[in-house]
Structure 1
Amino acid sequence: MTQFHRIERPRVAVTRKLLPQIEARMAELFDCRFNEDDHEMSADEIVEAMRDADILVPTVTDRIDAELIARAPASVKMFANFGAGVNHINLAAAKAKGILVTNTPGVFTDDTADLTMALILNVPRRLGEGHRLMRSGEWKGWTPIGMLGHRIGGKTLGIIGYGRIGEAVALRAKAFGLNILYNKRHRLPASVEDEMGVTFEPDLDRLVAKSDIISLHCPLTAETQKLMSRERIGMMKRDAYLINSSRGELVDEDALIEALTRGRIAGAGLDVYNHEPAIDPRFLAIPNVILLPHLGSATYEGREASGEKVIANIRIFSDGHRPPDQVLEGWA
């Protein structure tokens, strides 16, 4: 069994600027080193920040790879990640070095689901295009065939990855009259499917081909990299839409850009990209895509709750106990 040891006043390095009340609380409880100007830290800067630290608080913008972990001082015993996703952390390398990893699950579920639903509503009704038209001053008034989009009631929404966020999106989508197909590794019990009003589709290709709107909610892994490949994008209906508020790397962006440009699919709503913060400039010239700057978790409430979870994980760990949001099972 893993032995946890008490740390009287843990030394904590934080890689990005957090909400003022969170930083104030952390400074009260811990010996903290903050990123005062909120710049994206280089690997060398992160290693320097960890000097003499017990705990690192990274975020999704930090690449905590095997090379960086190898350079981490022996004093570092915990990565208390700010956020639920941990694909930016090499978990195997952390485990091998005896560094425990925690995250902040659940706090952004409703925020991300709300934003996803906003994209599901916005893209088929061409609200982004309409907004740009009004801003340009080129609108000539209402016409019977002007700016036509698609109603979503009665359409089929295919949810790929039916975890907390996928389920929250389904709850919202049902209220708008969408039929829900879902795909996940393990099927839900029939009673839960009936209660939620969702239908399991075990064949991902069939789900893609049947759906009018596809929404991605799976984690980024070796198996899900470019899950929406050129072949799968080619299976989509010509009047279908792709929504991605999960991870940019789930989509083959070259194939998506080609499909959008050629009118092979009707549109897309994106909150995440392959090489953030860089965005493929070809997206900017495509009218039927809404581009958002990774806003899925961007609420005061969510960011405060995530910070509180980070603090709770650090406090429990430094008190000599296993933190509640440990990511690495079987850590030793």
Structure 2
Amino acid sequence: MSERHRLLITRRMPDAVTRRAQSDYDAVINPDDRIMPEAEWLAAAEGKDALMIASSEKITSDVVDRLPGSVRMIATYSVGYEHIDVAAVKASGRIVTNTPDVLNEAVADIAMLCLLGAARRSYEGQTLVRNGAWVGWHATMLLGKDLTGARLGILGMGGIGRAVARRARGFGLEIHYHNRSRLPEDQEEGATFHESAESLASVSDFLSISCPSTEETRGMINDDLIARMPPDAVLVNTARGDIVDDDAVIAALTSSRLFAAGLDVFRGEPALDARYRDLPNVFLLPHLGSATVNTRNAMGFCCLDNLDAFFAGKPCPTAL
């Protein structure tokens, strides 16, 4: 690149991403990964040509109005973009991009980890061993749920949902899915399509959430949907926390209406609903879905590929 454009990166990046950004751009990078208050990162954006943000930075229409005029592009280090008012960004004449597809396999791995962890009561088992309370094998200790022959419902059959389906087949699960529209048969991964989330819930011994957070999906996992699920079902969420109604899920877990849950994401994270911590039938992870070296590098490179294309006057590969 003949010109070193000025770039603000609001969060610490993996080393390989940082090296490339600093080589190709006049990059200012958050050195300690502290989440900067809005006023602070907006001030840091003065004079910058582009921003590389994460889901911790909320780009509302008000923020768009206050962005420095020099900022012409925003690349979010995430596949989800519910933290961005995309319409407002576009209306301001700016480009916004995300990082789809590169994290599908890693997130699907975590979905299966959450599913297995919940089904086989992994938290309770770990606690017994770590607390020195395990007194030896016995035939009725921590009996869990079989996967083989059970039905898995996938809510959202995008790239992540399809990757979950491929893995789940290897465990002998029968796959069902609901999507905004039915996929072509060659993309269904052998799964059965359901026209509604309610229909999907009714056949979901395991229900895995892989859909984006939208006005239509927020709070979708509520009392009504849980009531439609088979008794002793397992809920898995690796998508976004606000798709789940915490009160409904916690009540179902407390009453044993749900057998267990495996959760990697939470509403208001990291300040999750504290009641989850006291439930033995919840397998909890701290939003690790894309947390592998290769995947986090690929996400950063996707952002930089978009920036490179933009400043070269080419179409951005993953523009929203």
Short-chain TM bin: over 0.9
CA separation in 2, counterparts of 1:97 and 1:315?
21
Q: Is the 8 A contact 1:7 1:320 kept in 2?
A: no
CA separation in 1, counterparts of 2:142 and 2:210?
29
Over 3 Å off, 4+ runs: 190-193
Q: Which moved more, 1:230-239 or 1:158-167?
A: 230-239
CA displacement at 1:308 relative to structure 2: 1.1
Q: Is the 8 A contact 2:242 2:266 kept in 1?
A: yes
CA separation in 2, counterparts of 1:183 and 1:7?
48
2:275 to 282, 299, 302: 282
Q: Is the 8 A contact 1:155 1:212 kept in 2?
A: yes
TM-score (norm 2): 0.97
Query: Which residue is equivalent to 1:312?
Result: 305
DSSP 3-state at the match of 1:208: helix
Amino acid at match of 1:227: M
CA separation in 1, counterparts of 2:54 and 2:185?
37
CA separation in 1, counterparts of 2:217 and 2:263?
17
Amino acid at match of 1:259: A
Query: Which residue is equivalent to 1:246?
Result: 239
DSSP 3-state at the match of 1:130: helix
**Root mean square deviation of aligned Cα:** 1.3
RCO higher in structure (CA 8 A, sep ≥6): 1
CA separation in 2, counterparts of 1:138 and 1:23?
45
Query: Which residue is equivalent to 1:3?
Result: none
Structure 1 pair 7–223 and aligned structure 2 pair: CA distance change class (3 A)? farther
Gaps of 5+ in 1: 1-5, 328-332
Q: How many residues were matched structurally? A: 320
The answer on 1:292 being equivalent to 2:296 is no
Query: Which residue is equivalent to 1:270?
Result: 263
CA displacement at 1:135 relative to structure 2: 0.8
CA separation in 2, counterparts of 1:317 and 1:191?
34
CA separation in 2, counterparts of 1:123 and 1:272?
15
1:78 to 73, 77, 85: 73
Q: Tell me the percent identity.
A: 42
The answer on 1:55 being equivalent to 2:50 is yes
CA displacement at 1:188 relative to structure 2: 2.1
Q: Is the 8 A contact 1:7 1:318 kept in 2?
A: no
Gaps of 5+ in 2: none
TM-score (norm 1): 0.94
CA displacement at 1:7 relative to structure 2: 8.6
1:214 to 207, 218, 221: 207
Amino acid at match of 1:223: E
Amino acid at match of 2:65: A
CA separation in 1, counterparts of 2:117 and 2:228?
23
The answer on 1:129 being equivalent to 2:128 is no
1:119 to 108, 114, 119: 114
2:251 to 254, 258, 269: 258
Q: Is the 8 A contact 2:114 2:264 kept in 1?
A: no
1:135-154 alignment, distance < 5 Å:
135-154=130-149
Deviation per residue, 1:235-256 (Å, 9 max, x gap): 2222100000000000000111
Amino acid at match of 1:16: R
2:21 to 11, 26, 43: 26
1:87-126 alignment, distance < 5 Å:
87-126=82-121
CA displacement at 1:63 relative to structure 2: 1.2
